[in-house]
Structure 1
Amino acid sequence: MLKKIILSCLTTLFFTNYLFALNEPHTVKVLETKNAGAYTYIKVKENKDNYWVAITKSNIKIGQTITIHEQVWMKNFKSKALNKTFDKILFAQIPNKAISGSNNIHNIHGKMIKKKQDNQLKPNPTFNDNLIISNSKPIKTTISNLYTQKEKYKNKNVEIQGDVLQVSNKVMGNTWVKIYNGKDAVKFRSPNEDEKVAIGDKVKVIGTINTNVDYGYGFKYEIIGVNGKFEILN
């Protein structure tokens, strides 16, 4: 469902084989699992995308749906325990298996990553390149309609309601909120990095719909709302 976001660059900065992630949550279905050393390697499906994830050793079962939080992407990562090289793999954490801080990402490469983050990972001035924000009167609609009538709402302001599934504050000066209507979900980006919404809140949001945007490495959005203004209803 998620497909392309209108931003040239985000916090995704390359340092040799490392790509820093956003700590953004992803809900995925487990297709395959392999335990090796201190890790569990899982092949997951998120919408139409399949990719590998490494987490602290956990009891994960095939077919299970879990939420993972990004820590760092690695390219051409070789697992000696599995004798396998992954073209790309996401090191992540799951709830109740939190990994404390950038200097403790699965106890590997921590100091180097922490140093690079401290010295080089700064807000990217091209974060809002090609961002489309409308001043049009909001059209009241539903999340499902955004997908079935995408061209109708493209680059226009909408007003929708839903339940909050995910919240990520302080992401490059924004808050990212995923809302759900019982069938479909969509993400809205608020320019308020301290947006006071929480998982489980029923909200109304007004924002501009941007479509078919991509900033790489799995961050693809068919539809995303930008310049979101939230109101808690319950």
Structure 2
Amino acid sequence: MARKPTGESVLARAVRIFEAFTPEEPVLQVSEIARRTGLHLATASRLVAELAAHGLLARDDDRRVRIGVRLWELALRASPTATLRDTAMPFMEDVHAVVGHHVQLGVLDGDEVIFLERLSAPKGVINYTRIAGRLPLHASSSGLVLLAHGPADLRDRILAAPMQAYTANTITTSARLRRALADIRKQGFAWCPGHIHEEALGVAVPVRDARGTVVAALSVIVPNTAESRAVTGILMTAARGVTRSLPPSPLIH
């Protein structure tokens, strides 16, 4: 594959273009793509045109650029999480019907939790997560569940790194995080009142595969009230249902 004098391949530059898009800004001008990627405008324009010709990017009527449907199709076809999402969906729908607020399914990806699915309600409490959105592990109930049951080297890395504060309730010290992770492993759930937003309570439980390995976190975002803690039992029941329904082959590595 052709390379620049710096040694960067065309594929690497294409990946940088895809990474320029964010959940908050899914549509960009070519000039903004060039600025975010550090590519020359002519180079960015040429690569965008080639990617659009293959359906991996798409142009709006005003020539702004977005991720193409073809890329979404290929990602779904290859995703190892598709079976997990499809298996969990009926149980998520049951929880959503009872709780009436946001229900989410998240998995570990690097040092973050990425959300595969989210069911929401028109008048649900404020929630910053979205499908294919990410949050740091220390701040979210799903992230804490995955971190508590994740590999030791991941925990060591997160404990040693700076932790962003979203509210005064967010965990930001290694001592507090260690205690929280120990509690989660002991009690079987994460309970995070006001960690992302003061008005919201995140509650998450682990989803295990047939071997007992935690492969996902099932969570709800509900009003930050004492009564909302009652959703924990509902979540645990749903997570056990997902585990029983998962195929025996490993889904997440």
More helix by share: 2
More strand by share: 1
Q: Which has the larger radius of gyration?
A: 2
